[in-house]
Amino acid sequence: MDIQAIRKAYSNASLIDGEKGVFDVSGNKIITEQSKIDAARVELDADYAKVKYKDDRKTEYPSVVDQLDDIYHNGIDAWKATIKTTKDKYPKS
């Protein structure tokens, strides 16, 4: 069950139970359509693809301590070159 997509497709959903279904805040069952949930998943995936570069960059950037050490020993321009390598590898979408 794709809870994120259901929440996007049905913003009034307050309870999502894999066995019982989807309910609003009043306890009324919401009749869901798989095509609407699938469309919401496509939107969610597209939204994530636009910002995925941020997650990719985080794993590649040196730690803050290493970056400060790089600046101290090699100067700002060398640090910028190091950071630019990662930015170029994972450009903004």
At 62 the pLDDT is 95
Q: How far apart are CA 37 and CA 19, in angstroms?
A: 17
| Sequence-ordered alpha helix ranges (H) in the chain | 3-9, 34-60, 64-74, 76-89
| Percentage of the residues of the chain whose pLDDT score is greater than 90 | 95
Residues linked to residue 29 through DSSP beta bridges, in sequence order: 23
Q: What single-letter amino acid sits at 28?
A: N
The predicted model gives 15-25 an average pLDDT of 93
29-73 residue pLDDT tens = 999 999 999 999 999 999 999 999 999 999 999 999 999 999 999
- Residue 78's pLDDT band, with cuts at 50, 70 and 90, is very high
How many angstroms separate the CA atoms of 33 and 35, rounded? 5
What is this structure's pTM? 0.67
Structure tokens at 10: 């049905």
Residue 93 has a pLDDT of 74
